[in-house]
Amino acid sequence: MEFHVAGVTVSPIALILWSIFVGYVFSTIGAAGGILAGVGHISIFGMKKANIVKPMNQMLTLVSPVIAAPLYFRERRLVVPAAIALGLGGIIGALLGSWLSHTYLPDMKSYKPFFGAITLFIAGRMWYEMLPSVKEKQKAVKKANKAFEDKVKELKAAGKLNELKEIGVQFQQMGLGNNVFTFGGETFRYNAISPFLAGLIVAVISAALGVGGGFLLVPYLTSILGFPMFVVAGTSVLSILVSSATSIANYIKMGSNLDWAMLSFELAGVIIGSYLGPVLSKYVKAEYLKGFLAVVLTYIGIGYTFGAIILKATGVKII
């Protein structure tokens, strides 16, 4: 099927299947959805116009939070005040980032290396976090994850998964300063100013790349704020909703077009994948989620940053 605005001919079935994968990954780990959407648009489906790819990527990451966030909220796996602070900062960052990218990264030649370099940097950070010496410093996080995993198994055996929220996020203190909540029997603290500033910075970069920003938010929430992985995905996808919507609107205002026919098939797949993510993620260990994300980011980062050099030297095309 030919899609005139996107400038490609693609099977609708391929669009749906890839988008199911994108939605599943994004809603499961709260990251990489926009990156995978970009890989699909650029390398699999062959889109050539960077300023069309960017908002179309973000359209897919916009739908996933709408589907996934209520499921995480129902199970108390979402830190709402932190997500709101990230989102507020994201409004400012998205406006700035989309303008910079539309103006200074208008084509694939300038866009792809930037996409790859940022992704590869984050991948390196993720691998660092999985070193035994680093993981040892996150005992509270590990205890909370283990408690949640054990409770899932217990409630599943008893047929009472609806009671899962009892060990979920419960706030003891909220405000503009220090915030305190418990999860899985462990206590976590953060300052509200930190996620606001992080949301602003992440949105500048993610809007410039045309992605959701989860690949930056997940390391921030796990490494800097020290949140347990089982609440990171929900918190990440909710905050992305605000910044992505702002970025898309600004790209359209600056003249970017969206291929709504192509998006109709992609959005259908993302909706399915986004529903499956929260449902299935309870049965996958937190370390596996982070490990999968690191592998994905490494492959994409190398391909887009050094792909041209590798192709010239070896004749092998990575992405």
Of 216, 194, 213, 184, nearest to 75 by C-alpha is 184
Residue 203 and residue 156: Cα distance in Å, rounded?
38
Query: Does 307 reside within a domain?
Result: yes
The DSSP code for 256 is -
Lowest mean pLDDT segment, chosen from 4-13, 129-138, 252-261: 129-138
Tokens 């790349």 label which residue? 209
Q: How does 82-101 read in b/e, with b if 16+ C-beta sit within 10 Å?
A: bbbbbbbbbbbbbbbbbbeb
- The two tokens of residue 65 are 């939070």
12-16, 99-103, 110-114, 255-259: least confidently modelled range:
110-114
In a domain, 124, yes or no: yes
Q: Give the chain's count of helices (H) and strands (E).
A: 12, 5
pLDDT digits (tens, 9 = 90+) for 154-193: 766 777 656 656 677 878 778 777 889 888 777 888 998 9
Work out the mean pLDDT of the chain and round it to a whole number.
83
First to last CA, the chain: 23
- Given a contact cutoff of 8 angstroms between Cβ atoms, the answer to whether 205 and 213 are in contact is yes
Give the domain extent around 268.
2-314
Answer for the pair 186, 143: CB distance below 8 angstroms, yes or no. yes
| Residue 3 pLDDT class (50, 70, 90 cuts) | very high
Q: List CB contacts of 309: < 8 A, sequence separation 6 or more.
A: none
Q: Is the residue at 129 inside a domain?
A: yes
| 319 belongs to a structural domain | no
Q: Is residue 211 part of a domain?
A: yes
Residue 57 covered by a domain: yes
pLDDT given at position 296: 81
pLDDT class of 213 with cuts at 50, 70, 90: confident
Q: Mind listing the pLDDT tens digit for each residue in 16-44?
A: 999 998 888 777 766 677 888 988 998 89
**Considering its fold, how many domains does the chain have in total?**
1
Under DSSP, the state recorded for 40 is: I
How far does Cα 278 stand from its chain's mean position?
14
